[in-house]
Amino acid sequence: MPNSSSISEFLLLALADTRQLQLLHFWLLLGIYLAALLGNGLISTAVACDHRLHTPMDFFLLNLALLDL
């Protein structure tokens, strides 16, 4: 018996209808994104620059931070 379900259309709805809520969502998500970017950049910089952080655990932490970037 074949799968007969199919999607013929895709509807993307806005997060909010009002301009103020859209701006709030934008700034909130931008802040979260920039915090994650800064945190991963600091991890990458710390592991790359400090010779004491060249253990296998720190190597994998650096790889995870770079993948998240």
- The domain segmentation of the chain, as residue ranges, is 4-67
| 12: pLDDT strictly greater than 90 | no
At position 51, the amino acid (one-letter code) is H
Instruction: Indicate the pTM of the whole model.
Output: 0.68
Q: What is the pLDDT of residues 18-47, one digit of tens each?
A: 899 999 999 999 999 999 999 999 999 999
Q: Tell me, what's the pLDDT at 69?
A: 81
Per-chain mean pLDDT for the chain: 89
Q: In three state form, how does the secondary structure of the chain look?
A: CCCCCCCCCCCCCCCCCCHHHHHHHHHHHHHHHHHHHHHHHHHHHHHHHCHHHCCHHHHHHHHHHHHHC
